[in-house]
A and B are shown apart, each in its own frame.
Chain A
Amino acid sequence: MRGAQRGSASDLEALFEAHWPRAHRAAYLVVHDAALAEDIAQEGFLAAIRSLDRFDRGRPFGPWLHRIVVNRAIDAARARNLRREAELTDGSAVEDAREPVDSSVLAALAGLPPEQRAVVVLRHLLGYTPGEIARTLDLPRGTVNSRLRRGLDAMRETL
């Protein structure tokens, strides 16, 4: 991080290689659309680069990036759901960019609302504690716990 702030392209590349796969995967698991997930993760990195000079070196980069990516993924998934609901009411011919859901865990995740998906991904893919998730999403800790519980219960039923 320090090297990237000083202008080292190789350190920037190392930062990208270390954080891209998880950021991309987290976005995909929330939005279930590979192209949109790519955009979200990419823009998370671009936002990071724009703010690189102002970034506090004492703080870890990963949680900061995950906060941007997961919040944007929730917004994108909500917007997509709204658009589909509105269009399905009149038999839309819009091309659906979402990927066909194949794996069982992905199918179970797909059945959750975006907010629950995000909490499950933050907890079980990225390994954050409920307290850290509450800070990441600006939610009360109780809300995080209940979303996590409901999400996992629903997934268990599907699996």
Chain B
Amino acid sequence: MRRDLERVEVPDAEAARERAHGVVVAAYGEREAIPVRRRPLRLAAVCAVLAVAAVVGAAFSPPGEAVVDRIREVIGVERAQPALFRLPTDGRLLVASDSGVWVVEQDGKKRLLPGYREASWSPFGRFVVATKANELAALERDGDVRWTLARGNVRSPRWTGSESDTRIAYLDRSGIRIVAGDGTGDRGLSPEVAPIAWRPGAGYVLGQLQASELRLQDATTGRVISRARAGLATEVLGFSWAPNGERALVVHPWELTVVDPERNTSRPISFAAADVVGAAFSPTGTTIAVLRANELVLLDPAHPRVRTRVFAGEGPFQSVAWSPDGRWLLIGWPAADQWVFVRADGGSIRAVGNVSEQFRSRTFPRSDGWCC
């Protein structure tokens, strides 16, 4: 039996060994390169509890060793700035926190839109659409409210369109709804609640993930244009499009699915552990950034086995966003209370600490978009 198992030919074994060798040696080289610091003081209480557990565990059982290891973990980028003084490149951020939605300008100026829970940018970044529990609102960046709509359990607002005409899609108790950018013509599009994303390109075509398929619906006529297989509809962490609108990206904890609705094909990109946190196409559409629990990797969707690791740490990380120029990525590191800006070419990182305090939030603030 052993001889038989050793004779089984593993396809592409030598190339796999070479690829893995490169990745492993590079990771070993990076081991000292990523500066880390001890847990912040605010975690001292947690550490104290773990320390007691460690002593007890180590004293009474061999598996206690794992607990001791947890105490030794180090979290965060060492030389983090104490505040967000400026973004590393052009653009503006939308940030959702317990106190509301924040607009962060490139020079670091912040403005709070109080009480809102979730937001997204208008197509050219001049306006913001934001939600409260029972309200959808369009606002200027300085907080002036242009219009509001009272709707129950509003969420997932998505804005698309041109300089002269725009549409907003959102979810409420009744399903998927559409309203024009000026607040007129609000109407239901589908009675089913599902992850939604506007398909870039001509017309108003809304992608919806419904029961293992990607459904494309014309928001003007209501007609369903096409349906494509899209993998499991459960545990969807993210749903977005490549900038040219040719492929959709569905994010699950254990894999990404790249869906081509024209060809009705879906291509799974699997990961060895179910630890994918988020993923997004770059602004050029040539690269996908994949954030896993403790690393950020870039891959070419045409050759998904070749992955470039651009950042790693003890994690767990949360949310990933590309800068509009595609040169930087922003990831959240809740345990360290840091945001880490990572150059997409792996050239450098810039970290910002005290994120929760800066955005007056008990929970870790979330980036809702980095726009033009």
Contact = CB atoms under 8 A, between A and B. Distances in A.
Nearest to B19: A38
Contacts of B20: 16, 20, 24, 38, 41-42, 45
Contacts of B312: 50
Contacts of B6: 25, 125
Contact of A36 (B21, B229, B270): B270
Interface in B8-29: 8-13, 16-17, 19-21, 23-25, 27-29
Contact of B5 (A34, A45, A83, A124): A124
A35 B312 CA distance: 22
B34 to A, nearest CB: 11
Contacts of A79: 254, 274
Query: What secondary structure prevails in chain B residues at the interface with A?
Result: mixed
A39 B27 contact: no
A34 B10 contact: yes
Contacts of A25: 5-6, 8, 10
B231 A83 contact: yes
A18 interface: no
A76 B6 CA distance: 22
B274 A105 contact: no
Query: What secondary structure prevails in chain A residues at the interface with B?
Result: helix
B165 interface: no
A45 B25 CA distance: 10
Interface string A36-73: 11111111011001111010100000000000000010
Given A9-B29, A24-B13, A56-B65, A103 B24 contact: no
Interface string A71-83: 0100110011001
A18 B232 CA distance: 39
Interface in B279-305: 294, 305
Contacts of A46: 23-24, 27
A49 B19 contact: no
Nearest to B264: A93
A86 interface: yes
B67 to A, nearest CB: 12
Nearest to B309: A46
A90 interface: yes
Contacts of A105: 1, 4-5, 7-8
B296 to A, nearest CB: 13
Contact of A42 (B23, B229, B232, B270): B23
Nearest to B17: A20
B358 to A, nearest CB: 30
B361 interface: no
Given A38-B305, A93-B265, A125-B6, 11 more contacts: A12-B25, A12-B28, A16-B25, A25-B5, A54-B69, A79-B254, A80-B270, A87-B229, A94-B266, A95-B268, A125-B2
Kindly list the 6 A-B residue pairs having the minimum CB-CB distance in the complex, ordered from nearest: A105-B4, A40-B272, A38-B16, A34-B11, A124-B1, A125-B5
18 contacts: A12-B25, A21-B13, A35-B12, A36-B272, A39-B305, A41-B16, A42-B23, A54-B72, A72-B272, A72-B273, A90-B212, A92-B212, A92-B229, A93-B264, A95-B266, A103-B4, A124-B2, A127-B2
